[in-house]
Amino acid sequence: MAGYFENKVAVVTGAASGLGLGISENLLAKGARAVFMGDLKEENLNRESERLNEQFPGRVHPVLTDVTKLEQVQGLIEAASSFDGHLDFVFNNAGMGMTLPTEQITFDIWKFIIDLNVMGVIYGTYTAIPVMREQGFGHIVNTGSVAGLLPIPYQAVYAASKGAVIRMTESLQYELETEGLNFSVFCPSNVRTGIFDGLTPPPDSISVDEAVEYVFQEIEKKKLVIVLPESARKFDDLFRENREEFDRFARQIAAERRENYRTKGTYY
């Protein structure tokens, strides 16, 4: 029996680094026929797609894409769906973290993060849905975050954006599963990507390879909400099962971040 990713056509956004690059590489390694890699950083996109093309000739398709621009996302999805007449996977992954105290969060920052983390995912999802409905299959995988599942102090903007992505993805699953569509949202805590450049990654952080391997295993099982790593799953259980203890923990994190910021100018 052919593997779940074998001979498939996929779109990945934020594909030039970190999780998006890991997802692209893993799709190719698992036999995907074509991976359309969208990113707005041209130099990184060219470098990484050329590297992957040497390993997987003819299956790598870089498309310079800013996910905050609807017409560019439509162009990316159209390029993939017209390539071989089917669109099997869309990974709406491009996004950015944000840890800031309230007094520093301007409305421009709110808008920037919502445009990127929420509208970028909405553009990809709602452009792919009609194509997948028409063909009667397809799997959309959105990148959430543990910050969208749980309240995390000093991450109000980020939590709001990822919470929206998680609830939207879950709602669509129940609405469209009878038409052959599948949805997943994966919610990592700390994965050692560029977001930790110049910082010491937390001890429970995992590598991109570890994260992607787990995510793919769960996508194949068509799991709707994927939480990783193990420490984040425990945190998520605590939130749902023992709110009082979770509240104490969240207040402790808030106090630590406040103190770190006051003394070191950084939260970590």
Catalytic positions, please? 158
Q: Where are the strands (E) in the chain, listed by range?
A: 9-13, 34-39, 60-64, 89-92, 138-143, 181-188, 225-228
In angstroms, give the least distance from the CB of 153 to ligand NAD: 16
Q: 215 pairs with which residues across the strands?
A: none
By CB under 6 A, residue 29 contacts ligand NAD:
no
Question: Whose Cβ is closer to ligand NAD: residue 16's or residue 28's?
Answer: 16
In angstroms, give the least distance from the CB of 168 to ligand NAD: 14
What is the C-alpha separation between 93 and 193, in angstroms, rounded?
13
In angstroms, give the least distance from the CB of 232 to ligand NAD: 9
Question: Whose Cβ is closer to ligand NAD: residue 13's or residue 125's?
Answer: 13
In angstroms, give the least distance from the CB of 134 to ligand NAD: 26
By CB under 6 A, residue 41 contacts ligand NAD:
yes
Q: Phi/psi class of residue 106: alpha, beta or left (left: φ > 0; alpha: ψ in -120 to 50)?
A: beta
Tell me how many residues contact ligand NAD (CB under 6 A): 29
In angstroms, give the least distance from the CB of 163 to ligand NAD: 12
Site mask, ligand NAD, residues 78-117, x = CB under 6 A?
---------------xxxxx------------------x-
By CB under 6 A, residue 46 contacts ligand NAD:
no
What is the C-alpha separation between 120 and 18, in angstroms, rounded?
17
Binding positions for ligand NAD, 142-171, rule CB under 6 A: 143, 145
Question: Is the distance from CB of 191 to CB of 227 less than 8 angstroms?
Answer: no
The two tokens of residue 178 are 């009878």
By CB under 6 A, residue 18 contacts ligand NAD:
yes
End-to-end CA distance of the chain: 47
The two tokens of residue 230 are 């193990």
What is the C-alpha separation between 132 and 130, in angstroms, rounded?
5
By CB under 6 A, residue 188 contacts ligand NAD:
yes
What is the C-alpha separation between 102 and 169, in angstroms, rounded?
28
Q: By the criterion CB under 6 A, which residues form the site for ligand NAD?
A: 13-14, 16-20, 39-41, 44, 65-68, 93-97, 116, 143, 145, 188, 190-191, 193-195
